[in-house]
Homo-oligomer: A and B are copies of this chain.
Amino acid sequence: MAAFNDRFLRACRREPVDATPVWFMRQAGRYLPEYRALRERYAFLELCRQPQLAVEITRMPLRRFEVDAAILFSDLSLPLLGMGVSLALEEGAGPVVESPVRRTADVRRLRPLEPETDLPFVLEAIRILRAELRVPLIGFVGGPFTMACYLVEGRASRDFARVRALMFSEPGTWHALMEVLTESLSRYARAQVAAGVHALQIFESWIGVLNPLDYRTFVRPYLRRLTETLQPLGIPVILFGVGTAALLEELAEAGGTVIGVDWRVPLDTAWSRLGDSVAIQGNLDPAVLLAPFEVVVEHAARVLRQAGGRPGHIFNTGHGLLPETPPDAVARLVDWVHAWSLAHPE
């Protein structure tokens, strides 16, 4: 039996590693033909709800690639379902909420999540994977702002203007919504840790639509409460958002062990802004993987040079893999990153 591969966890703690660890957001997803085959037989929600299917999909990329971590196959919106929200899941486009939250009465109808009762199948999948995997298992939750985005706007949007408008116009409704979301997401995150995940990623994906001052007023207290809930559990917490160039320092201050940087900010810039107290995950543009492999290598080398061999770099894309990604390019990239970093020890 192969030894447990702890490169990813060591990098999260900024300890020395033999090679840069690699995993990809959406590595278990639509770009894999074996996933699409399974998806033809089951509704997307079924894939999340049947532990054996979620386990199978989580393992798919591990069979193909030498990635250094697994991320649980699941969906950000499951806790909303558990909280009593009616929604349709559009794969890749995010949840579409039937009755968006607009007033305090809408917030009062939300039931705080009971993970063991509402989402037992997620916890069961984690327990199975924990016993089987030879790489760390990453669990995840949406960040409170991102979940509020779906609830208020009703669906994904470019800049969630209606969410910002509610924040400014109805701060009482906003804070009530963030309270119930933060409590539910904290419970869900703790339950995933109790079931066995080695690390947890908070997808505060849409936080980049806020400026730093509004972030501090309307989100910071809740995001910090969520990370503080996890600190005593001793696992790495990855905090990821898209388009966060105006917010990087805020995210580091929010309590992530690892800051996930999207493809827009060069990692040398990110590291000089964040200092050495956090690890950094990122940040190849996922669109690069649709180009010929010599272009992939050129961009991946740029990411690694910008990371500069610092302890605490986890190689990833700057956002999820695109459905058009050729799996073979992913396989070659994983091997190339490992080989490059072995050849460039710091």
Contact = CB atoms under 8 A, between A and B. Distances in A.
Interface string A265-288: 110010000000000000001111
Interface string A135-161: 000000000000000000000101101
A342 interface: no
A324 interface: yes
A8 to B, nearest CB: 25
A165 B214 contact: no
Contacts of A266: 211-213
B161 A292 contact: no
Among A162, A165, A242, A263, find the residue whose CB has the most chain B CB atoms closer than 10 A: A165
Interface residues of A, number: 39
Contacts of A165: 287, 290-291, 322, 324
Interface string A210-228: 1111100000000000000
A169 B290 contact: yes
A263 B211 contact: yes
Contacts of A263: 211
B169 A295 contact: yes
B285 A164 contact: yes
B209 A264 contact: yes
Interface string A155-199: 010110110110111000000000000000000000000000000
Contacts of A339: none
Contact of A159 (B164, B214, B319): B319
Interface string A295-325: 1000100100000000000000001001010
Contacts of A243: 208, 243, 245
A211 B284 CA distance: 11
23 contacts: A156-B158, A158-B158, A159-B242, A159-B319, A161-B286, A164-B285, A165-B290, A165-B322, A168-B285, A168-B290, A168-B299, A169-B290, A169-B291, A169-B292, A169-B295, A208-B264, A209-B264, A211-B264, A212-B266, A213-B266, A245-B245, A245-B246, A246-B265
